[in-house]
Structure 1
Amino acid sequence: MSILNLGIVAHVDAGKTSLTERLLFDAGVIDRLGRVDAGSTQTDSLEQERRRGITIKSAVATFGIGGLTVNLIDTPGHPDFIAEVERALRVLDGAVLVVSAVEGVQAQTRVLLRTLRRLRVPTLVFVNKTDRTGADPDRVIGQIADAIPMWRDCAEALAEHDEEALAAYVTGQQIPQKLIDKMTAEATILPAYKGSAITGEGIDELRQALATHLPRAESRELAPLRAAVFKIDRDRVAYVRVFEGVLRTRDRVGDEKVTAIDDGRRERIGPGEIGRVQGLRHVRLGDTIGTGEAAREAAAEAVFAPPTLEATIEPDDPARRRDLHRALQRLAEQDPLIDLGLDEETGELRIKLYGEIQREVIRDTLAEEYGLAVTFGETVTLHRERPAGRARAGAVRGRDGNPHQATLELLVEPGEGIQVELAVPVEHVPMYVYKTLAHFREAIERYVRDAFARGGLHGWDVGDARVTVTQCGYQSPVSTAADFRRLVPELLARALAAAGTVVCEPVHRFAVEGPADALTATLGALPRFGAVPDAPGAGPGRFTVGGTIAAARLAELERALPGLTRGEGTVESCFAGYRPV
């Protein structure tokens, strides 16, 4: 069986959900076309998605093209949900980037293009809305580097990207189809098609391109398991894509066991397949499942930009505070990048966010699904703490007032991300509790992450820290996992107090584009926003300048740019890390 896991990505209002409906309708999966403006589409199942006309959560649908099974993943397009898009892209074999033939390439389109290139996802471009007044698909294709229009002779354009294509072009030979497929699979070129998802124009050509240009999922059943979680629904059912090996019912994943696949209708998920997995109550979005080297490498690569905003949230009815806490916990379980915190001193609930639209979605979800009216406080920019040096803290079971039936010593020092290492012999680890050394390390890492999320010396989350377990001890059968879980945050607090911490602010990389005669004014204004610009670049009548800027100042730059560029400038940005304040 040939399988293609396909993503559809686009800027808001480019028509990707309408394209999904058209593909499903033409394949006979649905018997009528839904409309975004009418809130009747197949994949926008959330009430807010229907009302707002935007996709918030990744949705999955399946259709066939001849002998090819296509698992189609319709992803969000709004910038506030870019993390949701990245999670989906990592499980794809290929993608369709939808661009409006009227509005053309927009800021979010460029963000998606950079992400597709960075992840090397084979991509087709579909220029949609050719039935609209003002449509100009040729102009739009010209805005996308490496997009090759396939509706006209493109041999010359292909020859610019490949020596074999160049040789065929200069000798007057037709460029082989297999070469186009190879260049597409390597994400060297983006074959482009045009049409209308509403009228159906150009859809047959796009369907044929899906079957011929994009690579199939590899079938490696005998390899060690490597799979990824890219969606979790409200019932804690995980959507899992298997890359290699096989995931079966009753398989163990960490301390949990797969209890059912697709509501019990299947016993296994093979290479290339997607399934709805029950039983994994603690799995998180973006998690890699598997024990082989490839799975470990994939887990290390799956790092998503964190939210950089936070706001307090209160129920309008104070008597429903506990209901609000439970509802927010449910939302955070579905998406751990919506991070919930409770200030133990003030009792305030705080939630981490990517943007204002996301805040509105959470507010409406609480009202519609949980009957909770809420008020958000002022949105603030999140900072982060890093260890300033290295320090140890330890406790011995039964000594110096240690109330826990565990011995543990932790070394904390600066690092990249949060790393947990073991420097203790296996006989010092309570294997009757944790079963394997790997499970013990994973548990300690979970305890460390939970403790760091509660805040460091200045109240901000702690990151970029390496924690090494340098001593460990227990008494069987008295010592339990709870002893270690409770001891870890106490030791970390002592170690951080000894090492000290540095407060850091989130930083974005930005790229400003505008008319060439506005370059001087733009460069002169950037320092006012604390931006550090790179050397500018120039094209026909346009300039580009990139650089770094504090996340808290980015909105100021966005508001000022129209005045600096006569309304013709655009700014794109992406999270770039943290720097000391």
Structure 2
Amino acid sequence: MKRIVAGIIAHVDAGKTTLSEALLYRGGTQRQFGRVDNGDSFLDPDTLEKQRGITISSHQASVTYNDLALTLLDTPGHVDFAGQTEQVLPVLDYAILVISATDGIQGSTRTLWRLLKKYQVPTFIFINKTDVVGANPLKVIQALQSEFSSACLPFTEPLTTDTLENIAMADDNVLNSYLDSGNLKDKTIRQLIAERKIFPIYSGTALKLTGIDDFIAGLSKWTIEAPFSPNFQARVFKISHDNKGERLTWIRVLGGTLKAKAEILPGEKANQLRVYNGAKFTVQQTIPAGDVGAITGLTSTFPGQGLGKARDQPLNEIQPVLSYAVKLNGVDPHKCLSALRELEDEEPHLNVQWSDPLQEIHLQIIGEVQLEIIQQLLRQRYGINIEFNQGNILYKETITSKVIGIGHFEPLRHYAEVHLLLEPGKSGGGIKFASDCSVDILSHNWQEQIMTSLHNKEHRGVLIGAPLTDTKITLINGRGSIVHSVGGDFREATYRAVRQGLMMLKQTGQCKLLEPWYHFRLTIDPKHVGRAINDIQQMAGTFKLNSDNSNSSTTVITGTAPVTEMRKYAQIVRAYTHGQGQLELTVMGYQECHNAKEIIANAHYNPTADLANTPDSVFCSHGAGYPVNWEQVPSKAHVLD
């Protein structure tokens, strides 16, 4: 029997969970067709999901159709929980992208398509709600072919000659073979789908089970089971806690077999193996390659982590852009911090931090719906009632030129010197670390201490103290002492080297402040276009009028704008269009801050006074250590580059 893991993804209200319910109902997994609006859907078992009518975290279900064993992973549709969706994508064989026949492609649909491309997930498309008044499946198909790929093709059995020709055009070799033989083998079509050269489209109404059987037949016919390695490897895609507080590590086994009681990580064993179907689970002694399950007993796992022979998968496409401080309202800060740490374990993007100087808890989020969910989770799960402040934009910093930063740490009976090359990295790439230093200069052990130190710290910029990003840091030189050097010495020298290099770049104006920007899509009446363009210009945004819009009753304006300027604009649009305008916002990443001078001036950040991130070094003379200002460190360094 062919085994496939498929994730169902969609923009909010496209009918994603309803499609999941329909697939499970037709496969006999459940006897009753659950509905989101009734609060009895099989794949939204959590109390908050039932209350809100939305999926907040991914859920697993299994269903069998003849010779196809399908594991479904239902993912959140709301953009605030897109990080949960991103975590699931690397473990999928296929994705099912659901699009409403009335709403068409939305901003979050574009985000999902970008994620599917990044993780190279073969994709089936289901156009839902085709019977609703105003539905236009043909228009949706044309938009998919125009915006996403011309290889988004309707699949209706038997495949027509036109469809076969369009499929063949997706690959030159396949086209030549088709022109010679006039025939396309099913095996060839399956391979093209698996290689993301073809994206089959099906349509129907999940709520009425229309088109579901055809879609199931398509999944059965056109999917391929993935090959697996004989050696154990698995990938973590979710962390959660059950109703008894047990920590669960959700994994997909990508090779070999996972056995109960096996040591997965040093000192951490798989105490129990669970295979979930909705809210219920069965305990198994093994989970074979290809299957999905949850493990108890692991404490240090995280989404994207590779187990066994699998490598870690960075999950950095979806990033939080807002920061909030907690208003404790008399709540014990230690109790609140502990609860938020557990939520951070489940959603790493939260990045919960305790500010000692301010005696405040800070956390990072993607959007305000996520903030409301956090409040409710704290109240329902932990009995904690808190509020948040108005929130701030999360800024980042980067560099625009190369520099060698030097850190020296030599109080009495300690010694370490580290030289690091800092250079601009790829936009959106975060911080990358490398070593280009001979073991003849620095032993392997010392280099490992330096690289570990680089990885273990969130490095801060010197403009406003925001996190450093889009930078490559390479170890190029250094010195230690067999007699005096210990691990902590290299840690201190390493951190000082990063900051010293940043201060040198700041001195020459080569540090840059970044802020998050939105990609927006504004649909309004033509009479409001002048107002909208003026607003966008005032917000330092860019814009483009949709010149080929066939619907003359509305105008579409697309463009980019800073999050800090546009985050509240949806309310303004609703006001001046009397509820008729629609604004879609998608975080597009970080770009240069539009009002950097103002932000830097208001921050009043003094990098040399930040003792936890000092750029100065410590040297030794006459048996005593003494501080050296960062500007003078290169002239006093013991190693020449």
Question: Could you state the TM-score of these two structures normalised by the residue count of structure 2?
Answer: 0.75
Q: Which residue of 1 aligns with 2:606?
A: none
Matched, 1:352 2:337: no
Matched, 1:156 2:165: no
Contact 2:6 2:72 in 1 (8 A): yes
**Alpha-carbon distance change, 348 to 487 in structure 1, aligned in 2, over 3 angstroms:** farther
Contact 1:384 1:505 in 2 (8 A): yes
**Alpha-carbon distance change, 497 to 246 in structure 1, aligned in 2, over 3 angstroms:** farther
- Using the TM superposition, give the Cα deviation of residue 509 of structure 1 relative to its aligned residue in structure 2, in angstroms: 3.6
**Alpha-carbon distance change, 289 to 143 in structure 1, aligned in 2, over 3 angstroms:** same
Q: Which residue of 1 aligns with 2:385?
A: 373
Superposition pairs for residues 150-549 of structure 1, below 5 Å?
150-151=155-156, 155-157=161-163, 159-160=165-166, 162-163=168-169, 176-221=185-230, 227-234=234-241, 235-243=246-254, 250=262, 253=265, 257-260=268-271, 262=273, 265-267=284-286, 269-270=288-289, 272-289=290-307, 295=311, 299=313, 302-318=315-331, 320-387=332-399, 390-396=403-409, 399-401=410-412, 407=416, 409=418, 411=420, 413-416=422-425, 417-424=430-437, 443-449=452-458, 452=459, 456=462, 458-469=464-475, 470-471=477-478, 473=480, 479=486, 489=495, 492-493=498-499, 496-500=502-506, 501-512=511-522, 525-533=535-543, 537-541=547-551, 546-549=558-561
Distance in 1 between residues matched to 2:452 and 2:264, nearest whole Å: 16
Equivalent position amino acid for 2:363 in 1? I
1:339-367 per-residue CA deviation (whole Å, 9 max, x = no partner) reads 11222211111111100100000011111
Distance in 1 between residues matched to 2:463 and 2:532, nearest whole Å: 39
Distance in 2 between residues matched to 1:39 and 1:556, nearest whole Å: 31
Equivalent residue of 2:457, what SS?
helix
Contact 2:418 2:490 in 1 (8 A): no
Contact 1:122 1:214 in 2 (8 A): no
Equivalent residue of 1:90, what SS?
helix
Please say which structure displays the higher CA radius of gyration.
2
Larger mean Cα displacement after TM superposition, 24-33 or 64-73: 24-33
1:461-505 per-residue CA deviation (whole Å, 9 max, x = no partner) reads 22233334443647799956x676677556645554455353322
Distance in 2 between residues matched to 1:261 and 1:476, nearest whole Å: 48
Equivalent residue of 2:319, what SS?
coil
Equivalent residue of 1:77, what SS?
coil
- Using the TM superposition, give the Cα deviation of residue 18 of structure 1 relative to its aligned residue in structure 2, in angstroms: 2.2
Contact 1:127 1:193 in 2 (8 A): yes
- Using the TM superposition, give the Cα deviation of residue 159 of structure 1 relative to its aligned residue in structure 2, in angstroms: 3.0
RMSD: 3.9
Distance in 2 between residues matched to 1:472 and 1:265, nearest whole Å: 53
Contact 1:522 1:565 in 2 (8 A): no
Equivalent position amino acid for 2:291 in 1? E
Question: How many residue pairs were aligned?
Answer: 558
**Alpha-carbon distance change, 490 to 560 in structure 1, aligned in 2, over 3 angstroms:** same
**Alpha-carbon distance change, 321 to 448 in structure 1, aligned in 2, over 3 angstroms:** closer
1:251-296 per-residue CA deviation (whole Å, 9 max, x = no partner) reads 555x5644346158345652x332324454333222344667xx47
Equivalent position amino acid for 2:384 in 1? L
- Using the TM superposition, give the Cα deviation of residue 221 of structure 1 relative to its aligned residue in structure 2, in angstroms: 2.5
Distance in 2 between residues matched to 1:324 and 1:373, nearest whole Å: 9
Q: Gaps (5+ residues) in structure 1?
A: none
Equivalent position amino acid for 1:573 in 2? T
**Alpha-carbon distance change, 268 to 123 in structure 1, aligned in 2, over 3 angstroms:** closer
Distance in 1 between residues matched to 2:585 and 2:317, nearest whole Å: 18
The percentage of aligned residue pairs carrying the same residue is 25
Q: Which residue of 2 aligns with 1:45?
A: 45
Distance in 2 between residues matched to 1:579 and 1:136, nearest whole Å: 40
Equivalent position amino acid for 1:471 in 2? G
Question: Could you state the TM-score of these two structures normalised by the residue count of structure 1?
Answer: 0.82
Q: Gaps (5+ residues) in structure 2?
A: 146-150, 275-282, 597-641
Distance in 2 between residues matched to 1:158 and 1:361, nearest whole Å: 47
Contact 1:231 1:239 in 2 (8 A): yes
- Using the TM superposition, give the Cα deviation of residue 13 of structure 1 relative to its aligned residue in structure 2, in angstroms: 2.1
- Using the TM superposition, give the Cα deviation of residue 413 of structure 1 relative to its aligned residue in structure 2, in angstroms: 1.9
Contact 1:101 1:135 in 2 (8 A): yes
Equivalent position amino acid for 1:350 in 2? H
Contact 1:391 1:499 in 2 (8 A): no
Matched, 1:554 2:566: yes
- Using the TM superposition, give the Cα deviation of residue 245 of structure 1 relative to its aligned residue in structure 2, in angstroms: 6.0
